[in-house]
Structure 1
Amino acid sequence: MRSRELRFGLGVFVLSLGVLLLRFLVPRPVGMADNGDGWRLLCALGGRHPDLPSEFYVRFTYSPGLPCTSNYISSQAWIDWFARKLGHALGSTAEFNLLVLGGITCVLVAAGVAATVLGLELSRRNRVIAAVLLLLVMADSAFFGYFASVLSEGAGFLGMLLTTGGLLLMHRTGAWRYWGAALTVGGALIGINAKSQTLLLIPLFVLALALVRPLGKRGWARWLLPLGVLVAVGAGTAVVQSHGDPANAEYREANMFHVVFDSIVDGKHDTNADLAALGLPQSATKFIGKGWWEVTPWTDADYNTYRDKISRRNVAKYYASHPERTLQILQQGAVDTLTARPARLGSFAESAGFPKMAQEFRVPVFSGLSALAAPLGLFVLVPFWLLIGWAGIRAFRRHKREFGIVVFFLLLFAVGQFGLSALGEGVEGVKHQLLTLFPTFLAFVYAVISFFPRPASPSQEEEEEAEAEPATEVFDAFREPESPGVR
């Protein structure tokens, strides 16, 4: 590693961290209110408060709450645990402090941005542009609030950034490859285990590792490092997932309940025909638009006579035999994806003085544009995906394999997650589709960066870097290059 590159990476980290902390704390802290799912993570921290309204404002501190248990699996719990310990060490009297969590996440995001730009074989100028583009995604108002919340989406966003940054570094030679491998392991463990939906990353991660080809490696040496990364991530994920159920039976049935009574039988289409196609009686209309935990259908004797119809297999049969209705549901999923911001989740603490559910829009570059295009749904989302895919193919054809890998790693996950949420969850579509929108935007940024030219020669980047150095080093840039024989 050259010290000049290390100094540049450190500079990117410090500046990125400064920008992110300002974004987080000035003029007032921003986060994301709890939609009601936060108890699943708070249970392990001893900070559950079920009696408090959760969606109106962000609660930045949690005092000890009622004891509870949860089998929910999320890598967000690891970051939360560290934030809790650090908060206590810093003298916080709260059981869990979101300000500490947000600060820790800002550090991790800044490190991910710095590592990513160090993995780019570009001029310093283009690396700086790449860092700005990455920060615009990470700091976007649609995503940033989740870094200070009791929800698990933030771990998914962070994991994808760290994983792609690590994959880029693994394409470099020398010690960079090993730093990239370590970053990839950490990022993949966080990203894959963030939510049950992010387990979809597993086959894509395996494929990405299979395509990694560091320069100068041949034979078994080409596979040793990717294989080591795969073993570490695979073993770690197996251990994590064996300690609970990321989507237990109740949640699986709840999802299908909402698919049936929110997406398919929504009261706006041919209700009787849809009920018949699903094998449900007319009395089932009483559940249309109702929440699973609101009506507790398992206590209804009538519901229990057709409970077996509320299943993934039955829903899949309906989709296969009703392509037009399925397309309508996908269109709504695309609208939800591009909308980007759940309307009922606030961004500020109650003490900030804003109305209930007030949201901040200080960095709306990507999500603001997508919200404008949201009514068009698939007519915008699909062409956008195709454009990103074309850029990924172009990267492979132009011998920029590293960009092609990360673009398709993110793009294929976004497409898969879109279908999973649109067809398999049925409720809170905007929030659930954030794991579609974030990788889409991140893939777009990498697609743009893939168009940046590489330095024409190894010395070109050094000459550009020398322009920013003291005069004595500037003169060194104009020295005659040494011949290979001298080296």
Structure 2
Amino acid sequence: MSLTPPPLNRRGTPSVFRRILTQLSPGNVTHDGAVRSWIPWLAGCVSTAFLLFRLLVPTTVGMGDQGDGRRLLCPLGVANLRPWAYGDFTRYIYPRWEPHEWFGEACGADGSGEPYYSSQTLLLWPAKALSALLGWGPGLDTRAVAIMCCIVFGVLTAFLITQLPGRVGFRLLAAALFTLVSADGIFADFFVSGYSEPAAFLGVYATVIALLYWWRHPRHRLIGLLLVLAAAAFMIAAKTQTASFIPVIVLALCWQPESDRPLRFRDSKVPGIDARVRRRRPGRAKVGRYAPALAGLLLLGTFTAAFSNAQPQRFTELNLYNAVFTEMLPHSPAPDADLRWLGLDPSFIDSSGTTVASDNAAVYNPHYEQFIQKVSLSKIGLFYISHPDRLASMASRGLDAMTQPELGYLGSYEDGTGHAPHEKERRFAPVLLIFTAFRDAPGLLVGLQLTTLFLGFGAAFSARSSRAGRAVGKTAVVLVPAIWLQFWAVMMTEGQSETYKHLIIADYMTALCLPLLLILIVVQLRSQIPAPALKPDSRSESPPQVSADVKV
């Protein structure tokens, strides 16, 4: 007679749904697992296809050009087919850029003739060749730029899946959230444009993924270092304002990955010393661990300095002008005193609230050379250090701008598609909805950032989390200060001149906190659940003894 008990009759959730929920659950985040190689690549292809469908079907959507596209694309020998008047060409998008030969000051930074450099060019040249292959004629079509950006994003998403903690289904869910955030129109529409913001978005995304690899794979420390340096260099070279990322990259590379080198024989014989403590004992090996990172930081710092010096001096002048006449003086309770502190002539008060394009701009003041000689970024920084009360109102205006990331003065559709001038595309806008909900209380954005930071600290130093979980926490600890540095870099230079557009990179990093926060919450919750005790293996037990007086 069989002694096997009958199978249990399970009721409740059907097996199919139960399996789906099991795969989407994070699983045991206290251990790192591998992912089949084809799964990340398939997910990356799906991510690319989703972005392309979102941008090109049923009609092309993008970001209207307010004039900045020319300085980036004219070195490629192309000119935009669009109306000449500013009020006309900002109403719609014009993807076609025809071959054109530029001369003298016509091509460059705002009519100065100085070349404008950006890592976005690395995407523009292949896009120019792709435009001809796809039959869009000679020159450049910004739809081809979108294709290149979406392909790069898909590759990065595939790499992201391999670095996240948890089950495969949970990783795919997290990667989908990152994709949904990036697909919002306030970010993705820049892919179909002549702006350099796409390189900044992709650079931020790549840097986050490279940092995950850096902290997750201590045995491949050199590869992780090279990935972080390459991603950071691409990000910093996207725009002049992204040089603010240097301090957080220094922090990240000085925060060395955890060593998993096995103990030496003589260390294992020392009683009363924990293994983790023995691994961290100072010695000559510690100097060797930091040497590559310090050398990499030196190279990155040199690259950043060279890139900043190569940028048009016209940009520096415009930033200083906006910092004083667009931001400082209009919001000052005593603008005359501010001019005296800067050492400027009192007549500059007449240009308060102007840009260089205004009729009464300070560039027409006979003392304008005095402004060029006496005002610098360091002097503006010292001004705000000596006037800390002015920073509060500046922060308030910046947070208000971050809750309004949609550029309503630039159209999203092509002319002739039946859409109204300056009409914005909102078919897919999850981030816009969240940020708009924060408009009445902009401080909630800071709350989101602080929550991500605190949970990041908790995950980074959690002994129960896996190395991948701690890597996510460390990445959050680095990302949030990067948002703050980018915020203040914009507010203290660009000021109120197109604040909404210049803060879009800080908006994107804040939006990345949303999926990152979900991962951190799961890592923290799952790490608090103790691992189940292992049942003794019956096969390892000794066989039952048979009494001698029992007849067999």
TM-score, normalised relative to structure 2:
0.74
1:58 pairs with 2:93:
yes
Q: Which runs of 5+ in 2 are unaligned?
A: 1-31, 109-113, 263-278, 464-468, 532-536, 541-552
Please list, as runs of the form range in 1=range in 2, the aligned pairs for 1:232-247 lying within 5 A after superposition: 235=299, 238=302, 242=306, 245=309, 247=311
Q: Which of the numbers 366, 385, 392 marks the counterpart of 1:320? A: 385
> 1:324 and 1:39, CA in 2 relative to 1: closer, same or farther beyond 3 A?
same
**CA positional deviation for 1:432:** 0.8
Contact 1:418 / 1:433 at 8 angstroms: preserved in 2?
A: yes
**CA positional deviation for 1:288:** 2.4
Q: Which of the numbers 129, 138, 155 marks the counterpart of 1:85? A: 129
> 1:217 and 1:165, CA in 2 relative to 1: closer, same or farther beyond 3 A?
farther
Greater Cα offset, 13-22 or 235-244: 235-244
In structure 2, the partner of 1:126 is: 170
1:382 pairs with 2:446:
yes
**CA positional deviation for 1:409:** 2.3
In structure 2, the partner of 1:476 is: none
Q: Deviations over 1:27-64 (max 9, x none)?
A: 21121122222122112211234946442222211002
In structure 2, the partner of 1:338 is: 403
In structure 1, the partner of 2:63 is: 32
**CA positional deviation for 1:171:** 4.2
- Local SS of the residue matching 2:380: helix
Flag the structure with higher helix content: 1
**CA positional deviation for 1:122:** 0.9
Contact 2:457 / 2:474 at 8 angstroms: preserved in 1?
A: no
Contact 1:37 / 1:151 at 8 angstroms: preserved in 2?
A: yes
The AA in structure 2 aligned to 1:137 is V
Q: Deviations over 1:211-238 (max 9, x none)?
A: 3526634789999899768867865785
In structure 2, the partner of 1:10 is: 41
Q: Deviations over 1:161-209 (max 9, x none)?
A: 1222122234445998887666545433321211112122233223223
> 1:159 and 1:62, CA in 2 relative to 1: closer, same or farther beyond 3 A?
same
> 1:90 and 1:394, CA in 2 relative to 1: closer, same or farther beyond 3 A?
same
Question: Which whole-Å CA distance do the structure 1 matches of 2:285 and 2:332 have between them?
Answer: 60
The AA in structure 1 aligned to 2:377 is R
In structure 2, the partner of 1:283 is: 347
**CA positional deviation for 1:291:** 1.6
Contact 2:222 / 2:292 at 8 angstroms: preserved in 1?
A: no
- Local SS of the residue matching 1:450: helix
Question: Which whole-Å CA distance do the structure 1 matches of 2:115 and 2:93 have between them?
Answer: 24
**CA positional deviation for 1:130:** 0.3
The AA in structure 2 aligned to 1:388 is T
Question: Which whole-Å CA distance do the structure 2 matches of 1:298 and 1:269 have between them?
Answer: 24
In structure 2, the partner of 1:395 is: 459
Question: Which whole-Å CA distance do the structure 2 matches of 1:179 and 1:66 have between them?
Answer: 43
- Local SS of the residue matching 1:78: helix
Q: Which runs of 5+ in 1 are unaligned?
A: 461-479
In structure 2, the partner of 1:105 is: 149
Please list, as runs of the form range in 1=range in 2, the aligned pairs for 1:285-304 lying within 5 A after superposition: 285-295=349-359, 297-304=362-369
In structure 2, the partner of 1:419 is: 488
Question: Which whole-Å CA distance do the structure 1 matches of 2:296 and 2:332 have between them?
Answer: 49
**CA positional deviation for 1:351:** 3.0
The AA in structure 1 aligned to 2:130 is L
Greater Cα offset, 191-200 or 2-11: 2-11
- Local SS of the residue matching 1:48: strand
> 1:206 and 1:237, CA in 2 relative to 1: closer, same or farther beyond 3 A?
closer
Greater Cα offset, 74-83 or 39-48: 39-48
Greater Cα offset, 139-148 or 196-205: 196-205
- Local SS of the residue matching 1:105: helix
In structure 1, the partner of 2:544 is: none
Please list, as runs of the form range in 1=range in 2, the aligned pairs for 1:129-148 lying within 5 A after superposition: 129-148=173-192
Number of positions where the alignment pairs a residue of Structure 1 with one of Structure 2: 460
Contact 1:165 / 1:180 at 8 angstroms: preserved in 2?
A: no
In structure 2, the partner of 1:473 is: none
Contact 2:452 / 2:517 at 8 angstroms: preserved in 1?
A: yes
- Local SS of the residue matching 2:62: coil
**CA positional deviation for 1:453:** 4.3
Q: Deviations over 1:371-403 (max 9, x none)?
A: 2323433x2233222111111111112243201
Question: Which whole-Å CA distance do the structure 2 matches of 1:114 and 1:6 have between them?
Answer: 10
In structure 1, the partner of 2:419 is: 354
In structure 1, the partner of 2:119 is: 75
- Local SS of the residue matching 1:409: helix
In structure 1, the partner of 2:546 is: none
Question: Which whole-Å CA distance do the structure 2 matches of 1:259 and 1:174 have between them?
Answer: 44
In structure 2, the partner of 1:188 is: 232
Greater Cα offset, 299-308 or 345-354: 299-308
**CA positional deviation for 1:280:** 4.2
In structure 2, the partner of 1:366 is: 431
Greater Cα offset, 65-74 or 134-143: 65-74
The AA in structure 2 aligned to 1:364 is A
Question: Which whole-Å CA distance do the structure 1 matches of 2:290 and 2:138 have between them?
Answer: 42
1:311 pairs with 2:376:
yes
Question: Which whole-Å CA distance do the structure 2 matches of 1:237 and 1:407 have between them?
Answer: 23
The AA in structure 1 aligned to 2:45 is V
Question: Which whole-Å CA distance do the structure 1 matches of 2:290 and 2:144 have between them?
Answer: 34
In structure 2, the partner of 1:434 is: 504
- Local SS of the residue matching 2:36: helix
TM-score, normalised relative to structure 1:
0.83
- Local SS of the residue matching 1:63: strand
> 1:283 and 1:440, CA in 2 relative to 1: closer, same or farther beyond 3 A?
same
> 1:381 and 1:286, CA in 2 relative to 1: closer, same or farther beyond 3 A?
same
Question: Which whole-Å CA distance do the structure 1 matches of 2:383 and 2:513 have between them?
Answer: 33
Question: Which whole-Å CA distance do the structure 1 matches of 2:291 and 2:217 have between them?
Answer: 17
**CA positional deviation for 1:277:** 4.7
**CA positional deviation for 1:247:** 4.3
Contact 1:184 / 1:229 at 8 angstroms: preserved in 2?
A: no
> 1:205 and 1:346, CA in 2 relative to 1: closer, same or farther beyond 3 A?
same
> 1:45 and 1:236, CA in 2 relative to 1: closer, same or farther beyond 3 A?
farther
1:408 pairs with 2:477:
yes
In structure 2, the partner of 1:265 is: 329
- Local SS of the residue matching 1:342: coil
Question: Which whole-Å CA distance do the structure 2 matches of 1:66 and 1:293 have between them?
Answer: 26
- Local SS of the residue matching 1:122: coil
1:252 pairs with 2:321:
no
In structure 1, the partner of 2:518 is: 448
CA RMSD, aligned part only? 3.5
> 1:360 and 1:212, CA in 2 relative to 1: closer, same or farther beyond 3 A?
farther
In structure 2, the partner of 1:160 is: 204
**CA positional deviation for 1:259:** 1.7
